Amino acid sequence: MTDSVLTEIDHVAIAVRDLEAAVAYYRDTYGVDVDHREVVESDGVEEALLKVADSYVQLLTPVRDDSPVAKYIEKRGEGIHHVAYRVKSCADALARVKAAGHKVIDEEPRPGSRGTTVAFVYPKTAFGTLIELVEE
Amino acid sequence: MTDSVLTEIDHVAIAVRDLEAAVAYYRDTYGVDVDHREVVESDGVEEALLKVADSYVQLLTPVRDDSPVAKYIEKRGEGIHHVAYRVKSCADALARVKAAGHKVIDEEPRPGSRGTTVAFVYPKTAFGTLIELVEE
């Protein structure tokens, strides 16, 4: 038995240039509709959340040129940007990542979209994966 | 109400160079342990599946140089390789993708790991995302 900190894949985030076209792709191809939309000014993105069971597909598009997601698309093209895991306590999970000797992007939990509390873990010590910890 | 074809995020696949090191990272940092391991000869990979709720993190490493995952790591580095959605019928979901006018990698469903039936959708018409459809 393990004592897992990760209670759910909260979302998989997909960086796209055209949010309306991406929403239409998921709706028309897979029958998945938008559950929530929000502009997250702090991250310079607009997001559309599509519900899949108890998880989300998060379609992300930059709303300004200096958004990290704009830079990501410029450098790597559209595609999967990060994976977010739901946790009971973002502060506890973040403390655990730091205690394990790994670098983090957010030293402290901060507000995310739809009223969540989030923190990002630095990808270079996480096998190239940008990981977000999400407390609902 | 929508008629969603996607019943669950089956897994998020992470391409890594050193499978043991990646397994140790997830175990030691997040307390998530290996649920299933398998060498998938057809894809030239070894995978470790870590259970998160009703989904998996799939750590993937190439077992030969001509594996698509080896080429992926060479070109883009380690990181998130694809996202897989669980579907009731892989054949029906694949037919729906084709009917919507999108290109697919697997024209017919084929065997995946742990006894599943799978098909991959071509990423260029899916906003840069390599999507796998998984029927358990």
- Return the exposure string of A41-56: e unless at least 16 CB atoms fall within 10 Å of the residue's CB, then b: eebbbbbbbbbbbebb
How confident is the model at residue A3, as a pLDDT?
Answer: 82
Mean pLDDT confidence for B111-120 = 96
Contact B128 A77 (CB under 8 A): yes
- pLDDT tens digits, A72-86: 999 999 999 999 999
Cβ pair B87, B7 in contact under 8 A: yes
At residue A1, does pLDDT exceed 50?
no
Cβ pair A87, A73 in contact under 8 A: no
Contact B128 A79 (CB under 8 A): yes
Greatest Cα pair distance, chain A, in angstroms, is 46
Token digits for B48? Answer: 């470790």
Minimal-distance CA residue of chain A relative to B19 = A127
> What integer best gives the mean pLDDT of chain A?
95
At residue A127, does pLDDT exceed 60?
yes
Instruction: For residue B33, list chain A residues with Cβ-Cβ distance below 8 A.
Output: 2, 4
At residue B85, does pLDDT exceed 60?
yes
Which residue, B93, B97, B118, B121, is CA-closest to B42?
Answer: B118
At residue A42, does pLDDT exceed 90?
no
- Distance from the Cα of A41 to chain B's closest Cα (Å) equals 23
- pLDDT tens digits, A22-34: 999 999 999 999 9
> Is A58 in the active site?
yes
- Predicted interface score ipTM higher than 0.90: yes
Instruction: Report the interhelical angle of A19-30 vs B90-99 (nearest 10°).
Output: 130
User: How close are the terminal C-alpha atoms of chain B, in Å?
Assistant: 25
- pLDDT tens digits, A43-58: 999 999 999 999 999 9
SS3 A44: coil
- Helix (H) and strand (E) counts for chain B? 3, 8
How confident is the model at residue A2, as a pLDDT?
Answer: 57
Cβ pair B129, A82 in contact under 8 A: no
- pLDDT tens digits, B8-63: 999 999 999 999 999 999 999 999 999 999 999 989 999 999 999 999 999 999 99
Which residue, B134, B102, B104, is CA-closest to B118?
Answer: B134
Q: Which of residues 63-92 of B touch A (CB under 8 A)?
A: 76-80, 82-83, 85
Contact B12 A102 (CB under 8 A): no
Supply φ then ψ for residue B54, to 5 degrees: -100, 20
Which residue in A3, A4, A23 has the most chain B C-beta atoms within 10 A of its own C-beta, making it the best mutation to test that interface? A4
Name the E strands within A53-116. 55-62, 79-87, 110-111
Mean pLDDT confidence for B118-123 = 96
User: Which runs of consecutive H residues, i.e. helices, occur in B7-117?
Assistant: 19-30, 68-76, 90-99
Mean pLDDT confidence for A102-122 = 96
- pLDDT tens digits, B64-75: 999 999 999 999
How confident is the model at residue B2, as a pLDDT?
Answer: 57
Token digits for B90? Answer: 């892989």
How confident is the model at residue B1, as a pLDDT?
Answer: 46
Mean pLDDT confidence for A60-82 = 96
How confident is the model at residue B42, as a pLDDT?
Answer: 87
Q: How far apart are CA A75 and CA B47, in angstroms?
A: 28
At residue A112, does pLDDT exceed 60?
yes
Helix-strand-coil split of chain B, %, nearest 5:
30, 40, 30
